[in-house]
Chain A
Amino acid sequence: MKLLAYLRSLASTLFHRAQMDSELDEEFRAHIQRHADNLERSGLPRSDAERRARIAFGAYEKAKEDCREQRAGFWLETLWRDLRFALRLLRKNPAFSSIAILTLALGIGATTAVFSVVDRVLFRSLPYPQDERLVSFGVKAPFEGIEFMLAPEYVVLRSQPGPFESMTSLTPGGADCDITEQNPVRLHCALVESNFLPTFGIHPLLGRDFTREDDRPKAPRVALLSYGLWRSRFARDPKVAGKVLSLGGKPVEIIGVLPSSFEMPTLTSADILLPQALNESALDRTHPQDILRSFGRLKPSVTISQAAAALQPWFQDSLRFVPPQFRAEVSLRVRSLRDRQIEDSRVGAWVLFASVIAVLLLACTNVANLLLVRLGGRQRELAVRSALGASRVRLVRQTLTESLLLTLFGGLAGCVLACILLRVFISIAPQGIARLQQASLDLRVLAFCFMASLISGVFFGIVPALTKPLPESLVGKTARITPRGLFRHTLVTAQIAGSLILLTGAGLLLRSLWRIQNVSTGLEPQHVITAEISLSEYRYPEVPQQLAFFHELEARLNRIPGVGTVAISNSLPPSGTMQATFFVSIEVPGHPHLAEGTGGMVGFRMVTSKYFEALGIPIVRGRSFTEQDRSSTEHPVILSETLAAKMFSNEDPIGKMLRFSTLGSQGPWRTIVGIAANVKNDGLTARADPEFYIPWKDDPETFVRHSYVTILTSLSPATLLPWARSVISGLDPTVPVEFATMTARIGKLTERPRFNAILVSLFAGFALLLAALGIYGVVSFFVTQRTQEIGVRMALGATPLGISRMVLANMARWTVAGAALGLLGSWFCARLLESLLFEVRVHDPMLLASALLLLLAVALLAAWIPARRAARVDPVVALRYE
Chain B
Amino acid sequence: MTPQADLLPGTLDLLILKAVSLGSLHGYGILLRIEQISRGALNIEQGALYPALFRLVRQGLLKASWGTSDNNRRAKYYELTSAGRKRLREERDGWNRLVAAIGSVLGAEPEEM
Q: Which chain A residues have a beta carbon within 8 Å of chain B's beta carbons?
A: 1-2, 4-6, 9, 23-24, 26-28, 30-31, 33-35, 56-60, 62-63, 66-67, 69-72
**B60 proximity list for chain A (CB < 8 A):** 1-2, 4-6
Taking the closest CB of chain A, its distance from the CB of B48, in whole angstroms, is 7
* Nearest opposing residue in chain A for B58, CB measure: A9
Given known contacts A2-B83, A23-B76, A30-B75, A63 and B57 CB-to-CB distance under 8 angstroms = no
> At the interface, is chain B mostly helix, strand, loop or mixed?
helix
**B31 proximity list for chain A (CB < 8 A):** 31
Taking the closest CB of chain B, its distance from the CB of A7, in whole angstroms, is 10
Contact A2 B59 (CB under 8 A): yes
B107 contacts chain A at the CB level, 8 A cutoff: no
**A66 proximity list for chain B (CB < 8 A):** 47-48, 50-51
Q: How many residues of B contact A (CB 8 A)?
A: 24
Taking the closest CB of chain B, its distance from the CB of A244, in whole angstroms, is 78
Contact B45 A71 (CB under 8 A): no
* Nearest opposing residue in chain A for B75, CB measure: A30
Contact B54 A28 (CB under 8 A): no
Q: A30-B69, A31-B28 are in contact. List 19 more A-B contacts (CB 8 A).
A: A2-B60, A2-B83, A5-B59, A5-B60, A6-B58, A23-B76, A30-B28, A30-B74, A30-B76, A31-B26, A31-B27, A31-B46, A34-B28, A35-B28, A60-B47, A63-B48, A66-B47, A69-B51, A70-B58
Contact B46 A58 (CB under 8 A): yes
Contact A57 B47 (CB under 8 A): yes
B55 contacts chain A at the CB level, 8 A cutoff: yes
**B26 proximity list for chain A (CB < 8 A):** 27, 30-31
**B54 proximity list for chain A (CB < 8 A):** 67, 70-71
* Nearest opposing residue in chain B for A66, CB measure: B51
Contact B58 A5 (CB under 8 A): yes
Top 7 closest pairs, chain A to chain B, by CB: A5-B60, A63-B47, A58-B47, A70-B54, A66-B51, A34-B28, A2-B60
**A23 proximity list for chain B (CB < 8 A):** 66, 76
**B45 proximity list for chain A (CB < 8 A):** 58
Q: List 7 A-B contacts (CB under 8 A).
A: A1-B81, A1-B83, A30-B26, A30-B28, A30-B76, A34-B28, A69-B51
Contact A5 B57 (CB under 8 A): yes
Contact B28 A62 (CB under 8 A): no
* Among A6, A28, A66: residue with most chain B CB under 10 A: A66
A203–B26 alpha-carbon span in the complex (Å): 76
- Which B residues, 31 to 63, have Cβ-Cβ distances below 8 Å to chain A? 31, 45-48, 50-51, 54-55, 57-60
Taking the closest CB of chain B, its distance from the CB of A381, in whole angstroms, is 27
**B57 proximity list for chain A (CB < 8 A):** 5, 9
A66–B52 alpha-carbon span in the complex (Å): 9
Taking the closest CB of chain B, its distance from the CB of A5, in whole angstroms, is 3
Contact A72 B76 (CB under 8 A): no
A66–B50 alpha-carbon span in the complex (Å): 8
Taking the closest CB of chain A, its distance from the CB of B77, in whole angstroms, is 11
Given known contacts A6-B60, A9-B58, A27 and B47 CB-to-CB distance under 8 angstroms = no
Taking the closest CB of chain B, its distance from the CB of A50, in whole angstroms, is 14
Given known contacts A5-B57, A63-B51, A71-B54, A30 and B73 CB-to-CB distance under 8 angstroms = yes
A57–B50 alpha-carbon span in the complex (Å): 11
Contact A70 B73 (CB under 8 A): no
A34–B76 alpha-carbon span in the complex (Å): 13
A9–B39 alpha-carbon span in the complex (Å): 35
**B81 proximity list for chain A (CB < 8 A):** 1
**A5 proximity list for chain B (CB < 8 A):** 57-60
A72–B73 alpha-carbon span in the complex (Å): 28
**B74 proximity list for chain A (CB < 8 A):** 26, 30
Taking the closest CB of chain B, its distance from the CB of A153, in whole angstroms, is 79
A27–B26 alpha-carbon span in the complex (Å): 9
**B69 proximity list for chain A (CB < 8 A):** 30
**B59 proximity list for chain A (CB < 8 A):** 2, 5
* Nearest opposing residue in chain A for B27, CB measure: A31
- Which B residues, 64 to 97, have Cβ-Cβ distances below 8 Å to chain A? 66, 69, 73-76, 81, 83
Taking the closest CB of chain B, its distance from the CB of A64, in whole angstroms, is 8
A417–B27 alpha-carbon span in the complex (Å): 59
Contact B55 A70 (CB under 8 A): yes
Taking the closest CB of chain A, its distance from the CB of B89, in whole angstroms, is 16
Contact B50 A28 (CB under 8 A): yes
* Nearest opposing residue in chain B for A2, CB measure: B60
A88–B50 alpha-carbon span in the complex (Å): 33
* Among A27, A35, A60: residue with most chain B CB under 10 A: A27
Query: A27, A69, A70: which contacts B76 (Cβ < 8 A)?
Result: A27
Contact A71 B46 (CB under 8 A): no
Taking the closest CB of chain A, its distance from the CB of B69, in whole angstroms, is 8
Taking the closest CB of chain B, its distance from the CB of A542, in whole angstroms, is 95
* Nearest opposing residue in chain B for A5, CB measure: B60
Taking the closest CB of chain A, its distance from the CB of B111, in whole angstroms, is 49
* Nearest opposing residue in chain B for A28, CB measure: B50
**B46 proximity list for chain A (CB < 8 A):** 31, 35, 56-58
Taking the closest CB of chain B, its distance from the CB of A869, in whole angstroms, is 50
A24–B76 alpha-carbon span in the complex (Å): 10
A488–B107 alpha-carbon span in the complex (Å): 61
**B27 proximity list for chain A (CB < 8 A):** 27, 30-31
A622–B48 alpha-carbon span in the complex (Å): 110
Contact A63 B28 (CB under 8 A): no
A57–B44 alpha-carbon span in the complex (Å): 10
Contact A72 B51 (CB under 8 A): no
A35–B83 alpha-carbon span in the complex (Å): 31
A24–B57 alpha-carbon span in the complex (Å): 14
Taking the closest CB of chain A, its distance from the CB of B53, in whole angstroms, is 8
A2–B57 alpha-carbon span in the complex (Å): 10
A322–B34 alpha-carbon span in the complex (Å): 104
A23–B28 alpha-carbon span in the complex (Å): 15
Taking the closest CB of chain B, its distance from the CB of A10, in whole angstroms, is 9
Taking the closest CB of chain B, its distance from the CB of A727, in whole angstroms, is 89
A69–B76 alpha-carbon span in the complex (Å): 19
Taking the closest CB of chain B, its distance from the CB of A68, in whole angstroms, is 8
**A57 proximity list for chain B (CB < 8 A):** 46-47
* Nearest opposing residue in chain B for A4, CB measure: B60
Taking the closest CB of chain B, its distance from the CB of A443, in whole angstroms, is 39
Contact A62 B47 (CB under 8 A): yes
A4–B58 alpha-carbon span in the complex (Å): 9
**B83 proximity list for chain A (CB < 8 A):** 1-2
**A35 proximity list for chain B (CB < 8 A):** 28, 46
Contact A71 B47 (CB under 8 A): no
Taking the closest CB of chain B, its distance from the CB of A96, in whole angstroms, is 38
A25–B10 alpha-carbon span in the complex (Å): 26
* Nearest opposing residue in chain A for B83, CB measure: A1
Contact A67 B51 (CB under 8 A): yes
Taking the closest CB of chain A, its distance from the CB of B30, in whole angstroms, is 10
* Among B46, B48, B81: residue with most chain A CB under 10 A: B46
**A26 proximity list for chain B (CB < 8 A):** 74
* Nearest opposing residue in chain B for A37, CB measure: B71
A430–B73 alpha-carbon span in the complex (Å): 84
Taking the closest CB of chain A, its distance from the CB of B9, in whole angstroms, is 15
Taking the closest CB of chain B, its distance from the CB of A844, in whole angstroms, is 70
A66–B47 alpha-carbon span in the complex (Å): 9
A5–B54 alpha-carbon span in the complex (Å): 11
A2–B58 alpha-carbon span in the complex (Å): 8
Contact B73 A33 (CB under 8 A): yes
* Nearest opposing residue in chain A for B51, CB measure: A66
